[in-house]
Homo-oligomer: A and B are copies of this chain.
């Protein structure tokens, strides 16, 4: 009588500037168990945040054990997605401005505390791999993932493999120039895509219009006339209600993203572009003009062979992808 092979589990960690999200999955990717989220509390310092992550992982492992017949030895390890730039091989976060970290050995700090193997990869790479493994980019061979939030992160699947480049910076889509004499970006440069289409950039552009022009708009009323309280979220909400100023901001955002994506298509000739983040809430109001701008700028065969889709794993792509990156490194293919 053959013993049935016990299922194995992998934990995924998505470390962001605002929240830490941790979840466990069966190693075959079929089952998701226990997803937990807590605030990052970056002010706790690198060691403090690492302790919070370890605590959250312990909780997720216990939850998973409670939900399944798993025991602790059925956990293969932990995949961690963190903001970069990072040194994957050494498992070090080189700089994370939103966390205030510099050269922090996050992977070993977590792996050794837990006594489990761990891997570290870029958060935007993880989100892309998540969408590719189980989300909107499934089946793609050459995939571009864009995550639009506080910044614009990106990841690339090339020939069916996560692509890192020579020093783990491949896919930094947010800091490609779309207007060489354009808006100042917080990276110090001018005209980066991120300076136009990130969440904060969307809010800034809305405020500029309201201050500059005497136009009727819902926007001020949505923030009790405190323009500084406008966020990208406010803009999407006003646009959804038909506000002309907000709709114009969303259309411009679509155009900027379209330029950035057209550049990527002419370079990478991807078969899938998956766009994730709050801005995708705008739905067709974003994707229709975005696709039009891409068609205008990218080569016809590149446009025809590519689908541009919103992410289908909002909130979890990073965790799913962190599990996947661990699996690719320790188990082999997905």
Contacts and interface: CB of A to CB of B under 8 A. Distances in A.
Interface of A: 85, 94, 141-142, 154, 156, 158-159, 161, 163-173, 175-182, 189, 191, 255-256, 259, 262-271, 296-302, 304-306
21 contacts: A85-B299, A141-B166, A154-B267, A156-B267, A164-B269, A165-B269, A166-B270, A166-B302, A169-B302, A170-B268, A172-B266, A172-B269, A175-B266, A175-B299, A176-B263, A176-B266, A177-B178, A177-B297, A178-B179, A179-B181, A179-B191
A171 B263 contact: no
A170 B305 CA distance: 12
Contacts of A270: 165-166
A163 B156 CA distance: 14
B169 A163 contact: no
Contact of A172 (B164, B177, B267): B267
Contact of A178 (B169, B170, B175, B180): B180
A139 to B, nearest CB: 12
A179 B176 contact: no
Nearest to A255: B180
Contacts of A141: 166
A208 to B, nearest CB: 17
Contacts of A171: 267, 269
A302 B175 CA distance: 12
B269 A170 contact: yes
A324 to B, nearest CB: 19
B259 A177 contact: yes
Given A166-B271, A167-B305, A178-B179, 12 more contacts: A85-B299, A141-B166, A142-B165, A169-B269, A170-B267, A170-B268, A172-B269, A173-B266, A176-B263, A178-B180, A179-B180, A180-B259
A267 B269 contact: no
Contacts of A169: 265-266, 269, 299, 301-302
A89 to B, nearest CB: 13
B296 A85 contact: no
Contacts of A175: 266, 297-299
Contacts of A268: 165, 170, 267
A301 B168 contact: yes
Contacts of A142: 165-166
Max count, chain B CB within 10 A of own CB: residue among A154, A256, A267: A267
Contacts of A189: 296-297
A175 B300 CA distance: 12
Nearest to A192: B297
